[in-house]
């Protein structure tokens, strides 16, 4: 992940995509070249411990559609058109 030299804006976008239930890890891989394990490492470093734990709990519950295999095959978008933008949110990030 370090070799990619991600900008702060890229990291914000990856975190935003990881929080979205409808954005699969495969979309992050396609756009930024980060595997699921690398996304988890990024989230662990960038989020507060409690925020990271909440995110991991949501992803691991089985209700998450973070993998294309678990999704409805008719859904082919990366982002919901009604989604709010949270980029630049510094509340949930470590300082």
In a domain, 85, yes or no: no
pTM of the model: 0.64
- Per the structure, the complete domain to which residue 19 belongs is given by 2-70
Query: Is residue 13 one of the residues assigned to a domain?
Result: yes
Q: How many domains does the chain have?
A: 1
pLDDT of the chain, 95 residues: tens digit per residue: 555 788 999 999 999 999 887 788 888 999 999 999 999 999 999 999 999 999 888 888 755 566 666 555 555 555 555 555 555 555 555 55
For residue 19, the Cα-to-chain-centroid distance in whole angstroms is 5
Alpha carbon distance 25, 93 (integer Å): 21
Does a structural domain hold residue 95?
no
Where does 1-95 have alpha helices with state H?
8-19, 25-32, 36-46, 49-60
pLDDT of amino acid 83: 54
């Amino acid at each position: 992940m370090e070799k990619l030299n991600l900008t702060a804006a890229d990291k914000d976008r990856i975190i935003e995509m990881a929080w979205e239930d409808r954005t699969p890890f495969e979309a992050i891989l396609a756009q930024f070249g980060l595997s699921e394990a690398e996304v988890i490492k990024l989230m662990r470093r960038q989020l507060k411990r409690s925020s990271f734990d909440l995110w991991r709990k949501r992803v691991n519950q089985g209700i998450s559609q973070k993998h294309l295999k678990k999704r409805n095959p008719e859904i082919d978008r990366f982002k919901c058109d009604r989604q709010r933008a949270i980029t630049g949110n510094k509340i949930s990030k470590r300082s």
